Amino acid sequence: MLAVVLSLAAAACFAVSALFVNAVSGRIGPLQLSRWQIGLSFLMTGAMTLALGGWRTIDPEKTFWLVGSSAAGIMFASLTFVATIQITGPRISALLFTTASPFALALGYLFRGETVNGTQGFGALLIVAGIVLAVLGPKGNEGARVERPLWIGVGLGLLTSLGQATGSLLARPAMLEGADPVAAIAVRTGAATLFFLALLVVPKLRPTTIPDPLSLRKIGFAAFSGMAVGMSFLMAALANGKVGIVTTLSSTMPILILPMIWVLYGRRPRPLAWIGAAMAVAGTALISLST
């Protein structure tokens, strides 16, 4: 049950972060946005880990797994995440990111021998179906910021989901061995920060401008809600639950975005969105009762 609560809390934090990323993604390129967001996340989580004494839970073996998790789930996936939102807009990108669930289930089965019982499997299917209903609907302004063929955005979205699922799988051994969740995020974001800073040696990858103060504040809020808080919840969930189930629940982010958009922008979700949300809640209940 604890893993379920932590996973849903992570999803809520990811939803808030996605809204902030979407707000600035049209003015800042994927590489620069990722560099600032990950760098600020490291400063936040590193300070939290130092204050709470979490560094003592990290040893070389855990660091190895967490750096590998960072390579797949942050260094790679953060770039494709931002690019997907820019090309497809938030609605379609939200749908694409739900494919992290089947990726995670497959990876957990193939590499860790994890099993999912019939009730949990049906609950996961209900969640995925609910998310699909929530984000699909009559086409309109998708909010895309960059003109590119849709198939490129779809491909990047699938790669993002695969990277996130792989990152969760690689982080699990460290979490099972007792790594502090916040310290684990600090290691992951620290490794990613070094990676993005190293890219500055390539002249073509250097930013030409610095984000304005308003954009920096939004990036900071995105970093705090998504990386510092949301990812800490996700790491804690991985320490208490199966990677496939945790990733499935944390993928309910598109459902949780609906009421946020309604409150912030006055866009009331369509009936299909509410039906999808009800299916997702039913799926979550099935998983919770059988976990």
AA letter at 221: F
Per-residue pLDDT, averaged over 188-212, amounts to 87
**pLDDT tens-digit map of 90-119:** 667 777 777 777 777 678 777 777 777 788
Predicted confidence at residue 143, as pLDDT, reads 54
Q: How far is CA 263 from the centre of its chain?
A: 22
pTM: 0.76
Look at residue 76 and tell me whether its pLDDT is greater than 80.
yes
Residue-wise burial string across 233-272, b where 16 or more C-beta atoms lie within 10 A, e elsewhere = bbbbbbbbbbbbbbbbbbbbbbbbbbeebeeeeeeebeee
Strands, E assignment, the chain: none
Q: Which two tokens stand for residue 253?
A: 């982010």
Look at residue 141 and tell me whether its pLDDT is greater than 60.
no
Question: Helix 243-250 to helix 231-238 angle, to the nearest 10 degrees?
Answer: 150
Tokens 């990152």 belong to residue: 167
Longest dimension (CA), the chain: 54
Q: How far is CA 118 from the centre of its chain?
A: 26
In degrees, rounded to 5, the angle at the alpha carbon of residue 158 between the alpha carbons of residues 28 and 160 is 45
Predicted confidence at residue 137, as pLDDT, reads 56
Predicted confidence at residue 186, as pLDDT, reads 92
**pLDDT tens-digit map of 250-274:** 777 777 877 887 777 676 777 777 7
